[in-house]
Amino acid sequence: MHSALRFIALDWGSTRLRAYCCELTPQQELVLLAQASGPGVVKIVGTFSDVLQQVIAPFVKQYGELPIFMAGQISSSIGWFETPYLNCPVTPQAILHSVCERISGQQSLYIMSGLRYQNPSGDNDTMRGEELQLLGLLRRYPQYLHGQHLVCLPGTHCKWVLLDNGYVSWFKSAITGELFDVLLQHSILLPKPATLYTDDWATFTAGCQRALTFPNESIVHALFSVRTKQLFDAYTASNARSYLSGLLIGADVGSILHDTKVESLPTGSIILIGSGALQQAYATALTQANQQSVLITEQEVVLAGFAAVANQTLLPLSCQA
């Protein structure tokens, strides 16, 4: 029986870094020893190596040098070490056999591959990080290995994924989160400088309802109502911000539900993986669209995915030692 395996797991996306210090017991149970956070790939100041060392310094101080696993945009063309894409249809388990090892200083880095889907028109879609969540989802909830299931993974770029008997057969990306951020920072829709906002679910729902009620309306036109709501309907900046979020998420949800791939699926709940207000926002939009959802916590499946990869990678090494 092998001893417990300790490792560091980095879910390093475009806007944020989530770091976990983990222990995998001989019984295959994952113990979260500590966690930390840092800037995403597009927000770092300095080098990737410097940011890595700063974030994991408390882990190293307490537990010593550990193997490091990384998933997300850190392995993309805008990241640190670029890894290949696996072509769909593919099982998420395939990433267990496509981990790339890199060396930074004296540390071993194990980096995940992303997934690529090419649609019939020849356009490509990609994901990095979400494939790890899908792996963790199927490890934690094996019932989803059978049948067809639509999975929503909100984030900077929301992913809509079709699982077909355990395979990722199709997926689509929507830059909903990034577009929201761009409009907040670089448009006249909301006043500058930015103020502290609170979530306003009433105006969020109003934005959702507009997008869902008028699916043929151009979102480019609908977005201008964020400004006119402040001019004529007494919306505050907070109201308008929540309304903008509702418009974008409602348009995202409405578009995917009218996709021919999704319309042909058997009736069932959408698996919604996320956390906090963003998960709640998508759940609210889906409810507005008369669509049920099953909520699963993002951290749960991320850690389950990392545990599977670490076990596949480190267990053979520990047995050789």
Q: Which domains does the chain have, with CATH numbers?
A: 5-144+300-320 (3.30.420.300), 174-297 (3.30.420.310)
What is the pLDDT at residue 198? 65
What is the pLDDT at residue 194? 53
**Strand, helix or coil for residue 51:** helix
What are the residues whose beta carbons fall under 8 Å from the beta carbon of 111, sequence distance 6 or more? 69, 70, 71, 74, 75, 81, 83, 99, 100, 101, 102
Element housing 270 (H / E): strand 270-274
What are the two backbone dihedrals, phi and then psi, of residue 127, each rounded to the nearest 5 degrees? Answer: -145, 145
What is the pLDDT at residue 314? 82
What average pLDDT does the segment 264-277 reach? 93
Q: Is the pLDDT of residue 143 over 60?
A: yes
- Tell how far CA 187 is from the center of its chain: 26
Looking at per-residue pLDDT, the higher value among 313 and 254 belongs to 254
Across all residues in the chain, what is the average pLDDT? 92
The lowest-confidence range among 97-101, 219-223, 228-232, 280-284 is 97-101
Task: Give the pLDDT band of residue 107 (cuts 50, 70, 90).
Answer: confident
What is the pLDDT at residue 320? 47
Task: Give the pLDDT band of residue 193 (cuts 50, 70, 90).
Answer: low
| Separation CA 172–CA 5 (nearest Å) | 36
Tens digit of each residue's pLDDT (9 = 90 or more) over 151-161? 999 999 999 99
- Spatial contact of 86 and 25, defined as CB atoms under 8 Å apart: no
- Spatial contact of 67 and 40, defined as CB atoms under 8 Å apart: no
Residue with tokens 């696996």: 86
- Spatial contact of 200 and 187, defined as CB atoms under 8 Å apart: no
Nearest residue to 7 (alpha-carbon basis) of 41, 32, 43, 38? 32
What are the two backbone dihedrals, phi and then psi, of residue 161, each rounded to the nearest 5 degrees? Answer: -125, 135
What average pLDDT does the segment 81-109 reach? 90
What is the pLDDT at residue 192? 73
Task: Give the pLDDT band of residue 316 (cuts 50, 70, 90).
Answer: low
What is the pLDDT at residue 319? 47
Percent residues over pLDDT 70 in the chain? 95
Percent residues over pLDDT 90 in the chain? 80
What average pLDDT does the segment 20-27 reach? 91
Q: Is the pLDDT of residue 290 over 60?
A: yes
- Both structure tokens of 9: 């797991």
What is the pLDDT at residue 3? 64
Tens digit of each residue's pLDDT (9 = 90 or more) over 30-58? 999 999 999 999 999 899 999 999 999 99
- Spatial contact of 223 and 259, defined as CB atoms under 8 Å apart: no
Q: Is the pLDDT of residue 25 over 90?
A: no
- Tell how far CA 136 is from the center of its chain: 13
